Amino acid sequence: MNEPTADQPLHQSSLPNPARNLNTGPLRDSIEFLRGFVRNPAQVGSIVPSSRHLEQRLVRSARIGEARTVVELGPGTGGTTAAFLRAMAPSAQLLAIELDGSFHRHLSTSIRDARFQLELGSALYLAQYLSARRLPAPDAIVSGIPFSTMPPDVSDGVAAAIAQALRPGGRFVAYQVRAHVADFVSPYLGEPEKSWEVLNVPPVRVFTWVKPEG
Ligand SMILES: C[S@@+](CC[C@H](N)C(=O)[O-])C[C@H]1O[C@@H](n2cnc3c(N)ncnc32)[C@H](O)[C@@H]1O
């Protein structure tokens, strides 16, 4: 697992892009995604990007259209990111955190939207990234990072960071082939709502948690 250590910088950030221009092509994204999987299968966790059906399920489950601040963990080549931006209000903001340097470069040139901010680094440092950018507690956090292949201490650290960062009443949505994510997140956020998206390669489980108020 290519996790940064405590000695490494928290982020190598890019500034938000001023103009909106979602210049992504499905074929270009798929090739880039497959390259990412070959580089690091355990970290990427899938050979193709999420399907349009899964993207729309995530938009609905996380209530992206109502959110003011959205965080995406593991945007990959940006198909899910672009779907969130299409569904988001004009005044909402999206922070994406990606661990893979090539995916980060791809995203920083292909997504131009004033509402979009991007960090290169680990989801472990979610709180620090939000604080450095003076973003409020997110209304929605969506994650495709593979909890089942990460070291257990990293999975637990990411789950704790998500539970801590989310605003009370906010939603955490995770899409995964396996169910391990629930073992890590439920101790912090309680029982999730579970569903399957079968129109995806491969079919995935979708878990939705709502952070208790108060
Ligand atoms: C299954 S892919 C999802 C990509 C994209 N969101 C999609 O649905 O097509 C998982 C992504 O999580 C990233 N990732 C894995 N571990 C991470 C971590 N600890 N922090 C941030 N991103 C991570 C991988 O590099 C990869 O881009």
Q: What's the 95 CA to ligand 1 centre distance in angstroms?
A: 14
Model confidence, pTM: 0.90
Name the token pair of 46: 């899938």
Query: What dihedral do alpha carbons 43, 46, 52, 53 form, nearest 10°?
Result: -110
Question: Residues 39, 204, 74, CA angle at the centre, nearest 5°?
Answer: 45
Cα–Cα distance for residue pair 180/146, rounded to 1 Å: 9
Residue 165 resides in a domain: yes
Residue 7 resides in a domain: no
Query: Which CATH number fits the domain that encloses residue 42?
Result: 3.40.50.150
Q: What's the 47 CA to ligand 1 centre distance in angstroms?
A: 12
For residue 71 and ligand 1, the question of a CB distance below 6 A is answered with no
Q: Which residues contact 65 (CB under 8 A, 6 or more apart)?
A: 59, 87, 88, 89
When pLDDT is cut at 50, 70 and 90, the band that residue 214 belongs to is: confident
Which pLDDT score, from 0 to 100, does residue 18 have? 31
For residue 98 and ligand 1, the question of a CB distance below 6 A is answered with yes
- Structural domain harbouring 187: 24-210
Query: What dihedral do alpha carbons 131, 153, 39, 13 form, nearest 10°?
Result: 10
Residue 181 resides in a domain: yes
* DSSP at 65: G
Residue 111 resides in a domain: yes
Residue 40 resides in a domain: yes
Q: Which residues pair with 193 in a beta bridge?
A: 208
What is the average pLDDT score of the chain?
90
Atom of ligand 1 nearest to the CA of 3: 19
Q: How are beta strands 116-120 and 111-112 bridged, if at all? A: unpaired
Residue 45 resides in a domain: yes
Cα–Cα distance for residue pair 103/33, rounded to 1 Å: 8
Is residue 24 pLDDT above 90, yes or no? no
Q: What's the 45 CA to ligand 1 centre distance in angstroms?
A: 8
Q: What's the 214 CA to ligand 1 centre distance in angstroms?
A: 31
Number of domains in the chain: 1
The verdict on whether omega for the bond into residue 151 sits within 30 degrees of 0, i.e. cis, is no
Residue 168 resides in a domain: yes
Name the token pair of 162: 């998500």
For residue 97 and ligand 1, the question of a CB distance below 6 A is answered with yes
Atom of ligand 1 nearest to the CA of 72: 6
The string of pLDDT tens digits covering residues 157-213 is 999 999 999 999 999 999 999 999 999 999 999 999 999 999 999 999 999 999 999
Residue 197 resides in a domain: yes
